Amino acid sequence: MPDLTRLHAHEMAALLRKGEISSRDLTAAHLAAAERQNHALNAWLVIDRQKALAQADTADARIAEARRGGAAALANLHPMCGVPVGLKDLVSVKGGQATAGSKILKGYIAPFDSTVTVRLRSVGAVFIGKTNMDEFAMGSSTEHSAYGPTANPWDLTRVPGGSSGGSAAAVASFHAPVSIGTDTGGSIRQPASLCGIVGLKPTYGRVSRFGIVAFASSLDQIGPLARDARDAAILLHAVSGRDPRDATSAPEPVPAELLSLLPGDDEAAAYVKGKRLALPREYFVDGMEPGVAARVREAVAAMEAAGARVEEVSLPHTDYGLATYYIIAPAECSSNLARFDGVRFGHSDRTSGEYTSDYLRTRGAGFGPEVKRRIMLGTYALSAGYYDAYYLKAQKVRTLIKADFDAVWAAGFDAICAPTSPTVAFPLGARMDDPVSMYLSDACTLPVNMAGLPGMSIPAGLSDGLPVGLQLIGAPWRELSMLRLARGYEAVTARAPWRDLDPADLHLTDDPTTPSPIERSERQKRAATGLRDQA
């Protein structure tokens, strides 16, 4: 029997149904890895052994009952039944924490389940715990977490990306085969790229946002992180579908074919033949690392060699995406985060006894610097005299960005291929004092959120020993086609040497003397302070 943590979710599902493994054994193996290695990664804010094992036992009983019912009953079980999953710590789980990476929600216990939680419970998934994240999902490195940064298992001195960096690092480190993240401007795809895994942002409205701590309501979307396209498809199927509790949830049917995503490599590779792929010139941005551009072009060439037709296109309003996003997202965050007043839930400072003073003290102590920065930007953009000049104009540009994509679909293209991130994982602390440089990390992913489209990042090799992601962008509600294309690329590159590599620094996480990312970050801060003092 192979190491249980190295199995893919779809492989676990097959073995569970055959009775060759149990969900308890699977869960125990993943818990052991997460508990042993989290000190060096800080990927998990909570690892809930007791509840996870209880859920595993329930899943085992459910599978045993189905086995007694025969082949038809087993076939009716969802592939996620008995499979461990990680949840980003802004997903509400009744009776558990949901800090959203912020001090202002420290100690908050969710009184209800999110729709994503309900749906995963209904299919028998097992919750390992809650993963680390940038505060309120605002960041591209998971360094803005109030509970310390997360390290990248490929290089423990580097970031895993963000804001879903904990979820990505946990999957890349084999702590869970799949995890849930959220993507507001690239927060699933960018960490997936930097950690060498698959990350998918569905079409806006495909997955209910009920019970997810909000950042920017017209941009946020929940999606899967996994180690291959088949597992991402399985998890997407489990959480998708119309939800009357979310007014933005769409009544689009969930494709059953997500559960049987081109299992054979020959069949998967054949899917690529004849597909028409667009390569937008604007996505190869200034400052992109040469190794990243080379790996992306090699990936596109591999699909072209498999029979795809690749044509260069222009998306002329792409250059406005970053500026547009950083007006719209802060404006919506300013509105959403107004609810954190120290009265209803979360952190509360009532030392003065005067409401306004206590309100200011609560928010001043509870929010971190990046959240405060975005609240101020958003409040300014929405203020009297500036709404038309900034927010309204940004919404008009957003329409133009969407129109660029619409023209590509009208021209008959099946998908767009582009880099996910302009760089590989950067060092911890390298961009903390330069917000604009940090924001540029998402330059290739932001337009997809602005247009509400599905997009995903898939591994495309290494540059300087660190992962590079290829981004696939699809037409609205075409996740299945996009996943089939990703599965085809996996088949075409199945024998590439980099596919067999473990994250380079993963072995160091087994050493209890390896510094935690929190300790490493503090050392870097002290060193930087010393250099400034000397200057």
Catalytic residues: 88, 163, 187
CA distance 13 to 80: 7
Please enumerate in sequence order all residues whose Cβ is within 8 A of that of 33, keeping only pairs 6 or more positions apart, or say none: 5, 173, 174, 175
SS (H, E, C) 280-342: EHHHCCCCCCHHHHHHHHHHHHHHHHCCCEEEEECCCCHHHHHHHHHHHHHHHHHHHHHHCCC
What Cα–Cα distance (Å) separates residue 38 from each residue in 149, 170, 214, 517?
12, 9, 27, 10
Q: Which two tokens stand for residue 528?
A: 């930087």
Look at residues 12, 511, 427 and name the one whose alpha carbon lies nearest to residue 227: 12
Side by side, which strands form the sheet with 126-131? 44-47, 126-131, 84-88, 178-182, 222-226, 198-201, 455-463, 466-473, 415-419, 276-280, 309-313
Query: How many helices (H) and strands (E) are present in the chain, helices listed first?
Result: 18, 11
Neighbours of 257 (CB within 10 A): 13
* DSSP-based three-state secondary structure for 47: strand
What Cα–Cα distance (Å) separates residue 385 from each residue in 76, 324, 331, 392, 398?
58, 18, 15, 11, 21
Omega before 516 within 30 of 0, i.e. cis: no
**Exposure b/e, 404-432, CB count within 10 A at least 16 = b:** bbeebbeeebbbbbbbbbbbbbbebbbbb
Q: What are 313's strand-pairing partners?
A: 280
Look at residues 154, 88, 146 and name the one whose alpha carbon lies nearest to residue 117: 88
Residue type, 469: G
SS (H, E, C) 50-92: HHHHHHHHHHHHHHHHHHHHCHHHHHHCCCCCCCEEEEECCEC
Q: What's the sign of the alpha-carbon dihedral 104, 109, 115, 118?
A: positive
Structural contact between residues 80 and 123, judged by C-beta atoms closer than 8 angstroms: yes
